[in-house]
Structure 1
């Protein structure tokens, strides 16, 4: 199904492709040789993927393009000329070892778990990793922008309006390592988490040099919610006071579900770091680096790198511009404006595609202002809209982020009171990061996305703040540790208690990711690798396949055809309304109509007209019917002149291809 060896090969490719150039870039910025390693993964990933995608859009996706973009960054790294202004200090390498180990927690969520009976168990976050189909699409066809693996009218390649840079990065790993999309996704999930934790540790070290701050920052970043402890104390009464948990959660949880949003948040923090350097000395090379990092953020997440960065990053830029003497202010603003123009040009193809998709889907404005729902039914409904606003800051943030909410705020105050030790001219960095965090929290608290079924904007907008507050929390706890050695132990005790309160949730997350959730469909799914191997033998890579979008829907808490998404490495002519919601430019009525059509056909109640519509409207060049489908016993394809039977496995599957040879290899 997947190969552990291939995952390791992808991980090695990621380290070579992103950490190597990232270290040269970070060292070129002026970080010490050891401290540069903390920033290298996030910086290398952002700049290499953005550069490689820009080149691939012109010359195609290939090994020479990947290597050319990587080599160009390495050559240009010295042009940055010490922009960060760092002095030589030794960063504790054991911190990166801990970051690499903690990053395994989200990666485990992607891996299948084989039970003693041979059944496969999957962790819940695999639902969001159904976008692995996009990684396979890019790696298999070698074309960007990629075709749409979910839907293509009349069987055409279609276009993708999704922010796909992270998946493009994973496709680079699959392409170089000769791996499957599922294997590359697992490696890329690990790497993105490792990069985020390294960035947190590097920032903590910058504000509090030594061993303690980065190590404590990692523990704070890894801590989870207070809910398990509060639930054990208050029982069911907890949900009468506060709404149940949502996707607004800590770093390891969000990386388990959506590592591309985490990568985008890293780019947002890096952008502020680069702007702080530009404020000290504006250079063309620094502006170019800022443009690539900003582009990487947007191309990985509209919610984080687009809307949140426009608000929070813009505020941070103004703080940098108007804090301190006026000398160099207008040169800095010109450099930032130039970087914004270049970044806008880089993301223009994806931005235009997203705007066109929004217009095609309809449904009104994709974002509205609305307080995040915090308080439960114990509070009268009429008061909630008013009280939810302060409750977000005073209740929800301490509950969801006990380890970093208060300690991070304390660390920010310390950073505002004094210049970071051992740095040169970085007294503006703390306020700028504070502005980024505050506006990120503000956006999470009052903005709601309407484009999907969930409030993805609110859940993801908080991520830059999570990274920044984790770093500040590490610095604050390290300062409290130093004070404790002098007899002042209250602050340290309070910080460690808050940190400990978040550990049960983190351990529970690790357990769920490692063991998965055994389901009734797990045994059938275990045999589906053979099914899709047979399909690939009969069906060419450009052919769209019709399969039951609701098949094995109990593999996850929400229905989706994971068998196709994870194993097929082939395009679907309609992969279900859940996938179409993210990828296809269809209105809600069109999605429902398509969903009903495919449900009828694979339930065995479809008509000849329905089968014809699959062929002519959706361009289904092949069909897969399995024993789990109602159509297995009342098969509408067996009597259709539009399809012929290409292969049948007794009591398992039938593979049909379109007549006339259009569905064959």
Structure 2
């Protein structure tokens, strides 16, 4: 079902592949070893993935495309006079990388199955890793991938999601011979490792001493004050403060949505590259900046699209004014070229998301509205107007207590510090990233789905910057022996540790489920399906199968184990992956649920075969249709295989009416 050894092999391959590419790029761009080492994994991931995706679209997704993209990077970074930078900072301690690797196991555990005496259980975060089906699709059919979640007859089956992170997972799966599930765990570990190491290196770069990288990793393990406040205030907390959402710290967000975290790391790196481009507008910096910006967008529309665009607008006057007077025109041209190249790399995903937006309807995916902070006790009296100041004065200190307070104070002090000009400009640029990041979450909301994904994910670049800045500032306090400030910082750190411990316990222990024993038998069932159903065919299964194993009802066994396309993977996944208006999505969901509950008529079964291209149907003993089976009497399907008291597999009797339309 899932091999830890194979997942570890995939993670090792990713570590070597992306760290090697990133280190050579960082040295070629003039970064000294002190920063080239910690930035290498995240930088290499961004650049190599974008190049490999472009090559795979031209020559096919294979080991050749992967190794060719690496070769392009290595050849282009052969030692030159510019390779060795002038920077000569102190190297971070040697043990920082292993420590980051250990910390990264916490998010990776969210993906790993837990074998117990009762069967197999999963962590809550596995819900957001249902996108493993997309990794398997790329391994089967290449890129651009066919939509594995929904594909009606005669309609384009393009995937509108930002899938670069999942393509990266597919790359290491291809090289390691891993499944999509194993590769997702490996890629989750790598994303956590690379971004934690980036923050550690940035802490040293922001003026911290050798203690700063260690403090950055320690801050990554913290979380919200809500557990402590809930213990103190009890149920009354929800009256004052809106319930917890996906706006949370690095540890939580890396466990649930590592692709957004990877995009945030790319945005932070892009900010540093923008500063270097302003001071030295050369071709290598321009090209790498384009690749990194494209990686940010192709991994997260919210972080790499909305936030990156706003950061670029804010950066324009800062960097133009900072560029040498005689080189400003050259810088503006280089920045424009970098932007156009990034758009060119990201164009296929941009077009797919545009088409999906047209299919969904509903207008703009982003709206101007303050983040909802306060509970009913206050909003009932004052409305939502107090949410505006409460975001800064209440929500951010509650969710990121030590990071926000210490990080903001450190940046304010560093901006005016009498440091050398290049580093001072970097500090200002990073402070601007943080300001735009949190302001976006404050005032803009996403309208595509049921959740405010933009508000939740927009904080990530700012959170990374403030984590590094807080670590640098706290390291300075230790060096100066500022006891009072250190006592306050230690108190906030201790208060934010329970949230991190809760995340660790949830990821490692999983959530008990009545379906644990049945899920343990699911791999054999899906293996039989794969033997009988060709890779290009779509299968119908109950969207609510194993629904109690995830926080929201999805057929997690299909997403993790099927390695086959679904004709409709359920309402929850259709929100992000199907270009359907809400009313149509609800109607299709009701129809599929009725079929598998045994409440459907012949017309509904016929619709599965004719309209939704369901070439196979899996009915299990857990479905209502097991005893009221509409497929057994339907002329559209015939029984091809069964396991007594477990499952039945049907195949469509008519030939496919039309092949799946590729993007």
TM-score when normalising by structure 2: 0.96
Instruction: Name 2:223's counterpart in structure 1.
Output: 224
Equivalent pair of 2:271/2:430 in contact (CA under 8 Å): yes
Instruction: Name 2:123's counterpart in structure 1.
Output: 123
Equivalent pair of 2:208/2:475 in contact (CA under 8 Å): no
- By how many angstroms is 1:34 displaced? 4.8
Return 441-450 or 89-98, whichever deviates more: 89-98
- By how many angstroms is 1:80 displaced? 9.8
- By how many angstroms is 1:83 displaced? 9.4
Instruction: Name 2:334's counterpart in structure 1.
Output: 335
Cα-to-partner distance string for 1:512-561 (whole Å, 9 max, x where unaligned): 11001011111111110000000011111111001111111111121111
- By how many angstroms is 1:661 displaced? 6.4
Instruction: Name 1:44's counterpart in structure 2.
Output: 44
The 3-state SS of whatever aligns with 1:655 is strand
Equivalent pair of 1:224/1:250 in contact (CA under 8 Å): yes
Equivalent pair of 1:436/1:464 in contact (CA under 8 Å): yes
Pairing 1:317-332 to 2, within 5 Å after superposition:
317-323=316-322, 326-332=325-331
Equivalent pair of 2:106/2:255 in contact (CA under 8 Å): yes
**1:439 aligns to 2:431 (yes or no):** no
- Tell me the distance in 1 between the aligned counterparts of 2:172 and 2:553: 29
Pairing 1:440-519 to 2, within 5 Å after superposition:
440-484=437-481, 488-519=482-513
- By how many angstroms is 1:662 displaced? 5.6
Return 211-220 or 525-534, whichever deviates more: 211-220
Equivalent pair of 2:27/2:84 in contact (CA under 8 Å): no
Q: Which runs of 5+ in 1 are unaligned?
A: none
Equivalent pair of 2:631/2:637 in contact (CA under 8 Å): yes
The 3-state SS of whatever aligns with 1:621 is strand
Distance 1:512-1:469 versus aligned 2 partners, 3 A rule: same
Instruction: Name 2:549's counterpart in structure 1.
Output: 555
- Tell me the distance in 1 between the aligned counterparts of 2:375 and 2:97: 40
Distance 1:82-1:493 versus aligned 2 partners, 3 A rule: farther
Pairing 1:624-635 to 2, within 5 Å after superposition:
624-635=618-629
Cα-to-partner distance string for 1:349-373 (whole Å, 9 max, x where unaligned): 1101101110111112211111111
- By how many angstroms is 1:52 displaced? 0.6
Instruction: Name 1:140's counterpart in structure 2.
Output: 140
- Tell me the distance in 2 between the aligned counterparts of 1:120 and 1:471: 38
Cα-to-partner distance string for 1:172-193 (whole Å, 9 max, x where unaligned): 0111111110000000000001
Q: What is the count of residue pairs matched by the alignment?
A: 656
- By how many angstroms is 1:378 displaced? 1.9
- Tell me the distance in 2 between the aligned counterparts of 1:85 and 1:396: 42
Distance 1:446-1:273 versus aligned 2 partners, 3 A rule: same
- Tell me the distance in 1 between the aligned counterparts of 2:175 and 2:638: 37
Residue of 650, 653, 657 corresponding to 1:656:
650
Equivalent pair of 1:375/1:384 in contact (CA under 8 Å): no
- By how many angstroms is 1:326 displaced? 3.4
- Tell me the distance in 2 between the aligned counterparts of 1:241 and 1:175: 50
- Tell me the distance in 1 between the aligned counterparts of 2:624 and 2:84: 64
Equivalent pair of 1:53/1:168 in contact (CA under 8 Å): yes
Distance 1:85-1:331 versus aligned 2 partners, 3 A rule: farther
- Tell me the distance in 1 between the aligned counterparts of 2:364 and 2:607: 32
Equivalent pair of 1:137/1:147 in contact (CA under 8 Å): yes
The 3-state SS of whatever aligns with 2:618 is strand
Equivalent pair of 2:27/2:85 in contact (CA under 8 Å): no
**1:199 aligns to 2:198 (yes or no):** yes
Q: Which runs of 5+ in 2 are unaligned?
A: 658-663
**1:285 aligns to 2:284 (yes or no):** yes
- Tell me the distance in 1 between the aligned counterparts of 2:450 and 2:487: 42
**1:539 aligns to 2:533 (yes or no):** yes
Cα-to-partner distance string for 1:275-320 (whole Å, 9 max, x where unaligned): 1111211101110000000000000000000000100233134322
- Tell me the distance in 1 between the aligned counterparts of 2:357 and 2:81: 38
- Tell me the distance in 1 between the aligned counterparts of 2:598 and 2:28: 63
Instruction: Name 2:248's counterpart in structure 1.
Output: 249
- Tell me the distance in 2 between the aligned counterparts of 1:611 and 1:569: 23
Equivalent pair of 2:208/2:471 in contact (CA under 8 Å): no
